[in-house]
Amino acid sequence: MKTFMFKEMVAKAADVVAPVWPLKTFIAVNPLQGLEHLPFEQAVIEADRHRNCEIGDIAGFESVNRELIKWCSAYFDEGQALINMPGREFGFYHVFRDLAQYDRRLNRSKVAKTLLASLPECPENAISESLNQLGIPKKEQVPFIRQALGALPGWAGYVKWKENWQNPSEGSKQKATLVEFVAVRLILTRILWPDASAKELSDSATPFQLIDMPYNETLFREMLLKRLLPQAKTIVSRTNLPRVDAQLGFL
């Protein structure tokens, strides 16, 4: 039951992350995918809140990012590294669980060593333990996970693609799910940023560009019409051609 609960929690929090295809098969994706049920302005605000949230302890936040990037780079390597990471066929969380205890950057204290030596077998249990240890109340757990995913939207989006879009036969050697990704990030947070906590999310914060967008769109449309209409009338008068039903312009 707990396993299903945390899978649902992560899936709900991942609405701010769009899947990211690898460069060799790159596909343009709506960056607001998962928020299409909201009006455009509100979807932009919601995404901006979680991807660009204000962080009090920048050092701790960046330390978690650097270590997670390091582990993702090693795990998802496709032949560039001289030595392949062992055990990748068992999944991202299990590789981290088996190897992190030998990482000198993480084993800097007895607390960290004890933590890494006793990680649970299941990533869902790791998420549960981490949220409890970080002191995240239940009502703030989804927003906290959402911010964790939004901190590195490229890697989170790539994992989302591998989980939901990649051909299973192609990804068999690099298994990864968003649950595993979140579990590893929260463990790194406990070690490198133990004072992290869920931020208060304000609905009143509106990006400056959105405030002026309706006015700027109207201004641009009027300017464009003033430039195009006289030319259209001149062309019609010179050629004596019948007026077309519509003209389309693309930028």
Which of the two residues, 188 and 81, has the higher pLDDT score?
188
The span from the CA of 56 to the CA of 116, in Å, is 26
Least confident range from 17-26, 37-46, 61-70: namely: 37-46
How does the average pLDDT of the chain come out, rounded?
Answer: 84
Q: What is the pLDDT of residue 241?
A: 67
Average pLDDT over residues 159-180: 82
* Percentage with pLDDT > 70 across the chain: 83
The span from the CA of 232 to the CA of 230, in Å, is 5
pLDDT at 250 over 60: yes
Q: CA-based angle 111:122:105, to the nearest 5?
A: 35
Residues 6 or more apart whose Cβ sits within 8 Å of residue 246: none
pLDDT at 147 over 70: yes
pLDDT at 202 over 60: no
Average pLDDT over residues 173-181: 89
Helix axes 2-13, 138-151, angle to 10 degrees: 50
- Summarised one tens digit per residue, pLDDT across range 65-117 is 999 999 999 999 887 877 889 988 899 999 999 999 999 999 989 999 999 99
Output DSSP code: residue 24.
G
Q: Is the dihedral of CA 91, 149, 12, 23 positive or negative?
A: negative
Q: What is the pTM of this model?
A: 0.75
Residues 6 or more apart whose Cβ sits within 8 Å of residue 61: 55, 151, 193, 196
The span from the CA of 200 to the CA of 64, in Å, is 20
Q: What is the pLDDT of residue 203?
A: 42
Assigned token pair, 216: 């700027």
CB crowding 159-186: b at 16 or more within 10 Å, else e: bbbbbeebeeeeeeebbbbbbbbbbbbb
148 closest CA partner among 36, 30, 9: 9
Average pLDDT over residues 132-152: 92
| Range among 34-38, 52-56, 152-156 rated most confident | 152-156
First-to-last alpha carbon distance for the chain, in angstroms, is 51
Query: 182: pLDDT confidence band, cut at 50, 70 and 90?
Result: very high
Q: What is the pLDDT of residue 171?
A: 57
The span from the CA of 232 to the CA of 235, in Å, is 5
Q: What is the pLDDT of residue 68?
A: 98
Compute how many other C-beta atoms are within 10 angstroms of the C-beta atom of residue 219: 11
DSSP string covering 122-143: SHHHHHHHHHHHTT--HHHHHH
Query: 135: pLDDT confidence band, cut at 50, 70 and 90?
Result: very high
Domain boundaries, the chain: 2-192
Alpha helices in the chain (DSSP H): 2-13, 40-51, 58-75, 92-99, 110-117, 123-133, 138-151, 153-164, 178-192, 208-239
pLDDT at 198 over 70: no
The span from the CA of 184 to the CA of 109, in Å, is 18
Assigned token pair, 241: 């051609």
